[in-house]
Amino acid sequence: MAASSRAQVLSLYRAMLRESKRFSAYNYRRIRDAFRENKNVKDPVEIQTLVNKAKRDLGVIRRQVHIGQLYSTDKLIIENRDMPRT
């Protein structure tokens, strides 16, 4: 993988992890597993295809974060982990 390509992929990976942590319903392990699964891809065309797909996925995550912030609700009592259990 070319250096610029590697830097682009790493930057995209970090951005996806950062955004996914802001979206509580998203499992960031899916991102990690997908990137690890494709880490040995050498074909530049396939790499670019995967990068484009990841960019689309990042856009989806960002939209979901934004929508989640617009329509946020208070946690239910059963979701509150700070309360002591009886």
Q: Is the pLDDT of residue 86 over 70?
A: no
Residue 5 contacts residue 47 (beta carbons within 8 Å): yes
Using N-to-C axis directions, what is the helix angle for 3-22 and 29-37, rounded to 10°?
160
Amino acid 25: pLDDT = 67
| Confidence band, pLDDT 50/70/90 cuts, at residue 66 | confident
Q: Is the pLDDT of residue 82 over 70?
A: no
Amino acid 73: pLDDT = 72
Q: Is the pLDDT of residue 26 over 80?
A: no
Tens digit of pLDDT for each residue in 28-43? 788 889 999 999 999 9
